[in-house]
Structure 1
Amino acid sequence: SGGQKQRLAIARALLKDPRILILDDATSAVDTETERLIQLALERLMQGRTSFIIAQRLGTVRAADLILVLDRGRIAARGSHEELLNSSGLYAEIYHRQFRPQETAVARALAGGSA
């Protein structure tokens, strides 16, 4: 499956210990829980090296030092996750579209309703 191929490619990268790491949608073919586990492994892998992460899932890039938001092949905004949430309409729109269902489920659970 795509998820297995992605995990295998990440494992190969861990073994090669590269100075520069380029990840292109490294978690696109996995479920959310597997994505979380891969993210934990990638955090260790990226320490002390230059890393470029190309992603459509914003959860993958939230901890990045610098995020570039592309729109139609051009840089539409740049900044940290927090900076972009506060200043970039496009980034904030994508973020809320991706995470609103999860936030709503958590809010319902905390309020005692069903998720």
Structure 2
Amino acid sequence: MRSGKALDKVKLRELAIELENAIDAACEKGINEAEQFKPYAAQQIADAKAMKIDATVEFNTHGAWHYWFSETDLGECNEIMSAFARFSDVLTGDDQDPAIQRLTKRMQAIKDELFPPEKK
């Protein structure tokens, strides 16, 4: 897929910095948006109980991302997340960007608040 041209590492580095900044800004806003997910999840639980649905209400990070992208003004961030998936390992050498990890940690805290872990 490479052409005969040399890879412009300077431009690639500039784009990587822009991408990291965009991801970080979106995820910081996402941490704030996560607070709005808490009443949404609580309402889903209440609705399930009212309908006597005997099923575990699934609450996970994927669900939080789905809510974030579909129910907020951040839907345009899908392109950022797609770019993140492609470039994350190259840019950081890690599986996830620190901003994503912070958002995931916040979502876990909300989950723990809604569904306190059982003590053994």
Normalising by structure 2, report the TM-score.
Answer: 0.29
Q: Which structure has the bigger radius of gyration?
A: 2
More relative contact order in 1 or in 2 (CA 8 Å, sep 6+)?
2
Which has a greater percent of helix?
2
Normalising by structure 1, report the TM-score.
Answer: 0.30
Which has a greater percent of strand?
1
